[in-house]
Amino acid sequence: MRRFLFVSLPVIPVALGLLALPALRPAPERPALVVVITVDQLRPDQLERWRTQWTGGFARLLSRGAVFRNGLQDHAITETAPGHASILSGRWPASTGIVMNDWGVEDSTAPLLGGGGPGASPHRFRGTTLVDWMRATDSALTVLSVSGKDRSAILTIGKSRGQVFWQAGDRFTTSRYYADTLPAWLRAWNGRKGLAALAGRTWTLLLPASQYTEPDSAPWENGGESFVFPHRISPDPARAIGDIDYTPWLDSLTLDLALEGSTRLNLGRRGRPDLLAVSLSGTDHVGHRYGPDSREIHDHLLRVDRWLATALDSLSARVAPGRLLVVLSADHGVTSFPEYARAQGRDAGRISLGALVRQLNQDLRRQAGDGPRLRVGSGIIYGDFERLRAARISPDSLASVAASRVRQLSGVADAWTPATLEGAVTTSAHAARWRRSLPRDFRWLVVAAARPGWIWSDGPGSTTHGTSNQDDAGVPIIFAGPGVRPGQYSDSARTADIAPTLARLLNVQTQGPLDGHVLKQVLQ
């Protein structure tokens, strides 16, 4: 088996399996393995921006897959947890119950095996996913989900139990929701000390510097420190673990673990399809620190492109020819550094919603003592309504006051309360995305839309996502494999459409009401 660790692997010249088939050749059999690849924080325009430099997995999928140029995570809080929860459920956060990262997977009743972090489980997730639909007709289905983040590995497959692993410190592990012990193959993989062995490694450019048009001297990146190549991982193994997240090697290790698990679990070797979900978290870490317009994210994605080719070749070699069904998407996009955008002459900035909420909480303490507390997320203010009412504070009145103050913040396009949101849904795409984000039983006071180029941020040093704007909501959606009609499609497609489309390709029955629909253009 080819290893990803330490080196940038060459692209295998012969594309095996599904990706070597002629464009319109009908598949003689159903898929043997469904591979769902989520590249955390990947924007669709990035795939086009550097398209001439792709030589691996991105190149194959773009040229031989069904490519939707207008893919969307069509909800308002464009964060990792709600984004992953939508991909294989066919439903919006309002239906899955996964509103934001803070309402994601943390669960003290499901501690990690071996400790080293908060417990995690899908206890907040509502409904079913493609995994449940497949398992309803095939109890022997094998599922493997791997990511650098717990919420990414967990929420892609919902409440289903399976082989679900994520990084925690210097190893990959799982929680007691899924198992009481790690499988022998994962213990052996962890025993190689791949993460710790990267201590002291230097991240240099994959291509000659002349092949990168991005300046390598942007002082707003990484808090103004170490923003020029090369980047060195600390030689101290304890500190190196934190550094690795901000280099390409986290994704290399994640793919290596996915291939190891696929081999040990014999994925795709039965007579019926199995499922492999891989979420690459390194893009998100690098993107936050250096931004979507940086030389760092460019180089990072060049490496991911090549590693994906090797991974697809390795998987294709293990299953019957032409029976690998692949989906590539993302959990959200990202907005450029406001400082970068302003240097380009664009309107941009940071909206300190957190500072406003801190002021509101101070006002509440003066009025009601140490009782009610408001909390803030990406464009949302929420709190405990029972505590507010116990302090004789009307949530409706407080919401109106807070919304008025939110609208006065620079960069805010509009704001709504529970009393005004429904009336705006038909006239505002942002209000409609908020309705798709909020379960009916979620208690909130104010939601807001940022102007394009503006981000929810209390301070400089990094950029982020989370708004209802196109840069954050736009994601790639690509299908490739048996039963898929290759082509470039300008129609809008939403991540909630992925699961019902896969169900149709796999000929399995969906369960419950869905928000997404079958993308019939994909069907061969």
Question: How would DSSP label each residue in 319-388?
Answer: S-TT-EEEEEE-S---PPPHHHHHHTT---EEE-HHHHHHHHHHHHHHHH-S---EEEETTEEEE-HHHH
Query: What integer pLDDT is reported at residue 393 of this predicted model?
Result: 92
Rounded to the nearest 10 degrees, the angle between the axes of helix 395-407 and helix 353-368 is: 140
Burial-class residue 422 by CB neighbours within 10 Å (0-12, 13-18, 19+).
exposed
State residue 18's pLDDT score: 42
Phi and psi at residue 478, to the nearest 5°: -135, 130
Q: Residue 442's Cα: distance from chain center in Å?
A: 23
**CA–CA separation, 455 and 349 (whole Å):** 7
Sequence ranges of the domains in the chain: 17-22+33-111+119-341+470-478, 349-452
Closest Cα to residue 273, out of 27, 89, 506, 90?
A: 506
pLDDT at 29: 67
Q: How far apart are the first and last CA of the chain?
A: 33
Q: Quote the CA–CA distance of 488 and 429 in Å, as a whole number.
A: 25
Scan for tokens 């984004």, then name that residue. Answer: 83
**Comparing 17-22+33-111+119-341+470-478 with 349-452, is the CATH topology the same?**
no
What is the pLDDT at residue 482?
Answer: 96
Examine residue 230 and say whether the peptide bond preceding it is cis (omega within 30 degrees of 0). yes
Amino acid in position 430: H
Q: How many Å apart are CA 86 and CA 100, to the nearest integer?
A: 12
CATH for 349-452 is 3.30.1360.150
What pLDDT was estimated at residue 444?
98
Residues 244/251, Cβ–Cβ less than 8 Å = no
Bridge partners (DSSP) of residue 479 are 66, 327
pLDDT per residue of the chain (524 residues) written in tens, 0 to 9: 444 443 333 333 334 344 444 444 554 468 999 999 999 999 999 999 999 999 999 999 999 999 999 999 999 999 999 999 999 999 999 999 999 999 999 999 999 999 877 899 999 999 999 999 999 999 999 999 999 999 999 999 999 999 999 999 999 999 999 999 999 999 999 999 998 899 999 999 999 999 999 999 899 999 999 999 999 999 998 899 889 999 999 999 999 999 999 999 999 999 899 999 999 999 999 999 999 999 999 999 999 999 999 999 999 999 977 899 999 999 999 999 999 999 999 999 999 999 999 999 999 988 887 767 899 999 999 999 998 998 899 999 999 999 999 999 999 999 999 999 999 999 999 999 999 999 999 999 999 999 999 999 999 999 999 999 999 999 999 999 999 999 999 999 999 999 999 999 999 999 999 999 999 999 98
For residue 445, with 0-12 CB atoms within 10 Å meaning exposed, 13-18 middle and 19 or more buried, which class applies?
buried
| pTM of the predicted structure, to 2 decimals | 0.94
17-22+33-111+119-341+470-478 CATH fold: Alkaline Phosphatase, subunit A (3.40.720)
d(CA 78, CA 129): 20
- DSSP bridge partners of 380: 377, 447
Radius of gyration over every alpha carbon of the chain, rounded to an integer in angstroms: 23
